[in-house]
Structure 1
Amino acid sequence: MLELSWPWFLLLLPLPVIMYFLPKAKPKGDGIWWGNSEHVINHQDNKAISKRPSLGYLCLIISWILLVLAITQPVWLGEPTKVTPSGRDLLIALDLSGSMQVSDMALNDQPANRLEAAKSVLSDFIQARRGDRIGVIVFGSKAYLQAPLSFDTKTINQLVQEAQIGFAGEQTAIGDAIGLSIKRLEDKPSDKKVLILMTDGANTAGRVQPLQAAAFAASQNVRVHTIGIGADSMIVQSFFGPKAINPSTDLDETLLKNIAAQTGGEYFRAKSTQDLQAIYQTLDALEPTPTEDIWQRPLTSLFHWLGLGSLVFLVLSLLASQQLQFKKSSRRSSAPHRGDQV
């Protein structure tokens, strides 16, 4: 269904017609002298042609109509969609530091790095959270807002999939990620504010200490669930052949446990993709969505399409006018010049 935001601008549509019927300015002088009769004939032909609407004139009228319609800010209301609001504001803080490229996970029986596994599991989790407002924060050496809180889980999921290792720096600013999350949640009226923080390391950067940020989160009623990601064992090739190492030696589990305990959240350890899937299923149970439904209709703005169409027809009008002027000048230059005989 089409809806106009500013319908009163439609009153401008007849403006060109009104201007057309306004009294025209009269030319000064009593008459015009023509050098010979052929000029008179050409003048009469041009008058007859001018009475017919030209292509340029029609394009100009269409351009004006489209411009007025664009000014009214038309929007197309899509089909109603069911949304289940829970009043819960849920932020996901995703680590993009350099260590997230360690390939100690698996997807579809193929080796995958930690970020690829996290994004795959997050995709299912986000799409299942119908009704929650979800946002995404990415952090490395600094923390950035990747996606603001929104019910649009499809767009949120797309922005998560676009995140890449190194976007926020190579180090890990856990405290800054928590601090930015609190800033994005503090003005929200919801009393159900949740942060899910996923990292594979320790706090090595940032201006805010993680435990100080956690204390402030607790004072703001923000519950923080922490996830430590990374396998305990990994086979690597060395000079002496295959060797088993622990790729998660940098993971500060004590810090993540303290953050979760201080804010009333839970700490989870994800050593594999299957562990991540189980963790997010547990989070679904810890932070459930209610069953009360509301309906929303998506809005699609048509302003830019109408504005572009108006511009196209305006250019066509100018081109048609130039072509008409060229034809007239060609006709005059090709007419023979003969003097009148007395």
Structure 2
Amino acid sequence: MLELSWPWFLLLLPLPFFMYFLPKAKPKGDGIWWGNTGQLIHHQDRKATSKGLSWRYLFLLLSWVLLIFAMTRPVWFGEPTKVTPSGRDLLIALDLSGSMQVTDMVLNDQSANRLEAAKSVLSDFIQQRRGDRIGIIVFGSKAYLQAPLSFDTKTINQLVQETQIGFAGEQTAIGDAIGLGIKRLEDKPSDKKVLILMTDGANTAGRVQPQQAATFAASQNVKIHTIGIGADSMIVQSFFGPKAINPSTDLDETLLKNIAAQTGGEYFRAKSTEDLHAIYQTLDALEPTPAEEVWQRPLTSLFHWLGLASMLFFGLALPTSKALSWNRELWQKGDKA
């Protein structure tokens, strides 16, 4: 079905016809009469010129009509399709601080840093969300909304893959990330407020203390699931040879456990990529909130196509105008002869 957003522009459609009936300008001075000899000589040229003039008017008329219809902003509505959302609104807060570049994970049998492993698992998780709305918060020294809650999981996944370490700063503002999540979920029903927080460190930046943010989240019925990411052991090369270290000494598990417990969520420990997959499978088992069926109709804007077609016909009228000028010069030369 076709719908015009601004149909009142159609009132301009007959404007060229009104201009045709306007009084013609009268030439100044006496007219000059030429004999019929030149007309007989150039009869074929004038016939061709008259034909070119007709094409020119036709092209200009089509250009005008298409331009007017483009200005009405036509939109084509496709067939309605039924979407059955599960009712879950999931905000995922992803840590992009400098410590996420530690390569203590394995991805596809190769060493990978924590962010690469997290993005790989998140990609699988997001692609399975059929009918759920997902949003992304990224945080480092500050917290930012990377993607608002949306059913468009393809775009959400693309935005996740575009994130890089350090985009939000080198430190970790856990409290600010929770505060931003509460703000984005404040208008949602109480049984739909879920925030998944993934980090590998402790709160080292931000204006809001994580414990205060968790208390406020509990008062707003926001459930927070926390994930602590980072291996317990990692082999590094030192001056004395290979050495085993714990790369997760900065992980504040006590804080993450308290945040989850205070808001009714759960705390998960991800020491490997396999652990991350298992954790998101557990999160995937969250009971969906029943919701009514939603009908959607795809919209296709025709403005650009009509505008391009109008420019095309206007461009076709220009060579015709040049041909008419050339033929007019031939008339004058023939009549003078």
1:331 correspondence with 2:330? yes
The residue correspondences of 1:246-325 to structure 2 (distance < 5 A) are 246-288=246-288, 290=290, 293-318=293-318, 320-321=320-321, 323-324=322-323
Query: Unpaired segments of 5 or more residues in structure 1?
Result: none
Measured in 2, the distance between the counterparts of 1:215 and 1:42 equals 98
1:287 CA displacement: 4.3
Q: Does 1:127 align with 2:127?
A: yes
Paired AA for residue 112 in structure 2: A
Alignment correspondent of 1:166: 166
For residue 100 of structure 2, what is the aligned residue in structure 1? 100
The CA distance in 1 between the partners of 2:211 and 2:46, in whole Å, is 86
Per-residue deviation, 1:31: 4.2
- Partners of 1:95 and 1:201 in 2: how far apart? 9
Contact 1:87 1:190 in 2 (8 A): no
**Residues of 2 paired with 1:18 and 1:193: CA distance?**
61
Partners of 1:211 and 1:39 in 2: CA distance = 98
Using the alignment, how far apart are the partners of 2:96 and 2:251 within structure 1?
A: 14
Q: Give 1:124 deviation, angstroms.
A: 1.6
Aligned-pair CA distance for 1:327: 1.3
Partner SS for 2:205: coil
In the alignment, which residue of structure 1 is the partner of 2:238?
238
1:150 maps to 150
Determine if the alignment matches structure 1 residue 116 to structure 2 residue 116.
yes
DSSP-derived class of the 2:167 partner:
coil
Cα shift at 1:200: 0.9
Name the amino acid aligned to 1:199: T
Query: How far apart are the structure 2 equivalents of 1:29 and 1:279?
Result: 90
The residue that corresponds to 1:24 in the other structure is: 23
- Unmatched 5+ stretches in structure 2: none
Is 24-33 or 297-306 further displaced after alignment?
Answer: 24-33
Query: Which letter maps to 1:327?
Result: W
Structure 1 counterpart of 2:323, which letter? L
1:64 alignment counterpart: 64
Per-residue CA deviation, residues 233-253 of structure 1 (Å, 9 max, x unaligned), is 111222222221111111111
Which 10-residue stretch deviates more, 217-226 or 28-37? 28-37
Identity %: 77
Aligned length: 336
In 2, the alpha carbon distance for the partners of 1:326 and 1:48 equals: 13
- The answer to whether the Cα contact below 8 Å between 2:141 and 2:171 also exists between their aligned partners in 1 is yes
2:141 and 2:168 in contact (8 A); partners too: yes
Name the CA shift for 1:273/1:291 in 2 (closer, same or farther; >3 Å): farther
Counterpart of 2:105, as a letter, is M
Cα distance in 2 for partners of 1:240, 1:80 equals 68
Q: Is the Cα contact below 8 Å between 1:225 and 1:260 reproduced in 2?
A: yes
CA contact (8 A) 1:132 1:289 kept: no
Deviations 1:52-105 (A, max 9, x none): 644443332232222222223223334554422233321111111111121211
Deviations 1:219-272 (A, max 9, x none): 111111111111111112222222211111111111111111111111111111
Supply the AA of the counterpart residue of 1:282. Answer: T
**Corresponding position of 1:196:** 196
Alpha-carbon separation, structure 2, partners of 1:263 and 1:119: 25
Q: Secondary structure at the match of 1:164?
A: coil
Q: Which stretch of structure 1 is more off in the superposition, 266-275 or 42-51? A: 42-51
* CA distance 1:230–1:309, shift in 2 (3 Å): farther
More moved, 117-126 vs 188-197: 188-197
Q: What TM-score does the superposition give when structure 1 sets the normalisation length?
A: 0.86
- TM-score normalized by structure 2? 0.87
Q: CA deviation at 1:145?
A: 1.0
Q: Deviations over 1:34-67 (max 9, x none)?
A: 5776776799865983476444433322322222
CA distance 1:41–1:75, shift in 2 (3 Å): same
Secondary structure class of the residue paired with 2:223: strand
Relative to structure 1, the CA distance from residue 305 to residue 215 in structure 2 (aligned partners, 3 Å threshold; closer, same or farther) is: farther
What SS does the corresponding residue of 1:286 show, helix, strand or coil? coil
Q: Distance in 1 between matches of 2:63 and 2:324?
A: 21
